[in-house]
């Protein structure tokens, strides 16, 4: 492990110049710093609320490298408990999900209620003849847990801003998939999980901004998806669209036209999205959002939403060079059953563990990680400089900072700006000041 000091981190990531060292993806000390300063403080996407609908329902997940039990309370609220016994550290729950009335450790039998209060210790009056203050040994729990339009988030940091402030302008964009349909979204099935041998930021960065790669990386999947006899002249993906970036590090690229939905979700689902439900969507979320056909967004640090596909994912940073991807499929609750089924099936065919697009992306992500193993491959910096400068005036249709085309790396620079600010700031006020400075006149392009 190298001795990584904050000054060193700053020298590895210069987003004013758009220069990034490979060491940010390979250095163990940076990874440890991320666990502490990013995953120990940021609002992290935990799961869709539909994963834990009833009191006592739990979902076993990670926040950074910490195991966390997300559990529905009797009053309908949600708590997120560290999956670690306060007696001697045993994992409290090993199942992926289920329903519990109490959480009992398999080592010596200490038992907590679902709110994380220690309720019983075996032979308490014998093993603690002097008495024992059980109230001091509740489960460690996330300081704030909140839900936005059916997605559950949590932070360990009591001083973190509220979830809605943390999301900022990203919330407006998030409503596009989450609030577009009358009756809301429902969870289709459970969670799918797989491992990619790549640092978490390589994956998060693609979803924050990379609208350019599909024509190259996914050309095989796109060609394979063209129906027999279809007009191949329509294969070019649109340059039109927007890219959104925010002080909080969230970002997205979006398209409002092009063949991507025909080629991935199929005619019936596209028909439901852009014809059947369009007028109601305009009334609900406005034309700008109803017009979004395909888009992907990263909610800093590791929450991902694929618009159009109704696909949610979290990128778990299990080690410096390996990530676990966990995904969920949503569908409009009011859609006809055959549309829901097709949506889930076609979305999985594109972005499931063995999905046509997913395997192509995974090959690139793990390929990047492999090139940085060597002494020379980790020495030379990467260019993060693609332009289409952020619109200086307000965009009439889209809030926040947006480009006028889909192709840019401005949201990647926003992502790494925030990454560096979180690693090097002592508190949220410092982070906010740094973001304000880069958003001041002439800053952050």
Task: Tell me which residues are annotated as active site.
Answer: 108, 210, 213, 218, 361
Yes or no: say if 38 and 32 are a contact pair by the CB < 8 Å rule. Answer: no
Stretch that binds Fe ion, among 295-303, 359-367, 396-404, 433-441 (CB under 5 A): 359-367
Nearest one of 243, 247, 248 to 209, comparing CA atoms: 243
Stretch that binds Fe ion, among 46-54, 106-114, 282-290, 361-369 (CB under 5 A): 361-369
The Cα angle at residue 316 between residues 76 and 70, in degrees rounded to 5: 15
Contact call for residue 361 and Fe ion (CB under 5 A): yes
Stretch that binds Fe ion, among 77-85, 175-183, 308-316, 355-363 (CB under 5 A): 355-363
Yes or no: say if 287 and 25 are a contact pair by the CB < 8 Å rule. Answer: no
Closer to Fe ion at the Cβ: 186 or 361?
A: 361
Closer to Fe ion at the Cβ: 41 or 311?
A: 311
Binding partner of 128, given Fe ion, ligand FES, none, CB within 5-8 angstroms per partner class:
none
Rounded-to-integer distance, Cα 319 and Cα 197, Å: 9
Rounded-to-integer distance, Cα 1 and Cα 406, Å: 39
Identify the residue whose tokens are 């009591």. Answer: 158
Binding partner of 87, given ligand FES, Fe ion, none, CB within 5-8 angstroms per partner class:
ligand FES
Binding site for ligand FES (CB under 6 A): 85, 87-88, 90, 105, 107-110
The token duo for 286 is 């406005």
Least gap, CB of 88 to ligand FES (angstroms):
4
Rounded-to-integer distance, Cα 105 and Cα 92, Å: 5
Element (H, E) at 362: helix 356-371
The token duo for 248 is 């909080």
Identify whether 301 is preceded by a cis peptide bond (ω within 30 of 0).
yes
Binding partner of 271, given ligand FES, Fe ion, none, CB within 5-8 angstroms per partner class:
none
Contact call for residue 34 and Fe ion (CB under 5 A): no
Binding partner of 361, given ligand FES, Fe ion, none, CB within 5-8 angstroms per partner class:
Fe ion
Stretch that binds Fe ion, among 195-203, 243-251, 287-295, 353-361 (CB under 5 A): 353-361
Burial class (CB in 10 A: 0-12, 13-18, 19+), 97: middle
DSSP alpha helices (H): ranges in 210-355? Answer: 214-217, 219-225, 260-264, 267-271, 278-285, 287-290, 337-351
Contact call for residue 205 and Fe ion (CB under 5 A): no
Least gap, CB of 216 to Fe ion (angstroms):
10
Residue nearest to Fe ion (CB): 361
Sorted by sequence, the CB contacts under 8 Å of residue 392 that are 6+ apart come out as none
Question: How far is CA 326 from its chain centroid?
Answer: 10
Least gap, CB of 102 to ligand FES (angstroms):
13
Closer to ligand FES at the Cβ: 88 or 370?
A: 88
Binding partner of 391, given Fe ion, ligand FES, none, CB within 5-8 angstroms per partner class:
none
Closer to Fe ion at the Cβ: 18 or 355?
A: 355
Binding partner of 90, given ligand FES, Fe ion, none, CB within 5-8 angstroms per partner class:
ligand FES
Stretch that binds Fe ion, among 43-51, 262-270, 325-333, 356-364 (CB under 5 A): 356-364
Nearest one of 180, 204, 200, 172 to 64, comparing CA atoms: 200
Cβ atoms within 10 Å of 32's Cβ, excluding its own: 14
Closer to ligand FES at the Cβ: 109 or 394?
A: 109
Closer to ligand FES at the Cβ: 108 or 378?
A: 108
Chain residues in the site for Fe ion (CB under 5 A): 361
């Amino acid at each position: 492990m190298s001795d990584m000091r904050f000054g060193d981190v700053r020298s590895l990531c210069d987003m004013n110049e758009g220069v990034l060292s490979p060491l940010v993806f390979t250095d163990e000390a940076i990874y440890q710093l991320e666990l502490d300063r990013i995953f120990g403080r940021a609002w992290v996407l935990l799961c869709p609320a539909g994963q834990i609908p009833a009191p006592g329902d739990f979902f076993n997940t990670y926040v950074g490298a910490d195991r966390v039990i997300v559990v529905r309370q009797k009053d309908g609220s949600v708590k997120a408990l560290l999956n670690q016994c306060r007696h001697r550290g045993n994992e409290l729950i090993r199942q992926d999900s289920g329903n519990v009335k109490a959480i009992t450790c398999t080592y010596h039998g200490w038992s907590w209620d679902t709110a994380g209060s220690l309720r019983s210790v075996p032979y308490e009056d014998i093993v603690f003849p002097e008495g024992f203050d059980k109230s001091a040994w509740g489960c460690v729990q996330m300081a704030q847990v909140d839900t936005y339009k059916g997605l559950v988030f949590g932070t360990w940091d009591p001083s973190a801003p509220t979830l809605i402030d943390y999301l900022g302008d990203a919330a407006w964009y998030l409503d596009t998939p989450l609030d577009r349909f009358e009756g809301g979204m429902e969870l289709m099935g459970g969670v799918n999980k797989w491992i990619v041998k790549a640092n978490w930021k390589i994956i998060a960065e693609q979803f924050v901004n990379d609208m350019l790669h599909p024509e190259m990386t996914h050309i095989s999947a796109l060609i394979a998806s063209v129906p027999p006899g279809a007009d191949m002249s329509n294969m070019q993906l649109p340059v039109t669209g927007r890219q959104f970036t925010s002080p909080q590090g969230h970002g997205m690229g979006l398209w409002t036209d092009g063949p991507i939905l025909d080629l991935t979700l199929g005619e019936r689902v596209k028909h439901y999205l852009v014809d059947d439900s369009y007028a109601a969507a305009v009334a609900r979320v406005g034309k700008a959002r109803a017009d979004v056909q395909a888009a992907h967004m990263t909610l800093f640090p590791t929450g991902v939403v694929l618009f159009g596909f109704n696909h949610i994912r979290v990128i778990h940073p299990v080690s410096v060079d390996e990530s676990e991807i966990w995904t969920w499929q949503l569908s409009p609750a009011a859609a006809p059953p055959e549309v829901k089924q097709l949506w889930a099936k076609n979305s999985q065919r594109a972005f499931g563990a063995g999905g046509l697009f997913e395997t192509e992306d995974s090959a690139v992500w793990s390929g990047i990680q492999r090139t940085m193993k060597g002494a020379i491959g980790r020495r030379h910096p990467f260019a993060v400089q693609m332009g289409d400068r952020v619109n200086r005036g307000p965009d009439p249709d889209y809030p926040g900072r947006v480009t006028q085309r889909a192709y840019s790396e401005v949201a990647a620079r926003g992502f790494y700006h925030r990454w560096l600010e979180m690693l090097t700031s002592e508190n949220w006020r410092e982070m906010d000041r740094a973001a304000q400075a880069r958003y001041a006149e002439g800053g952050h392009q």
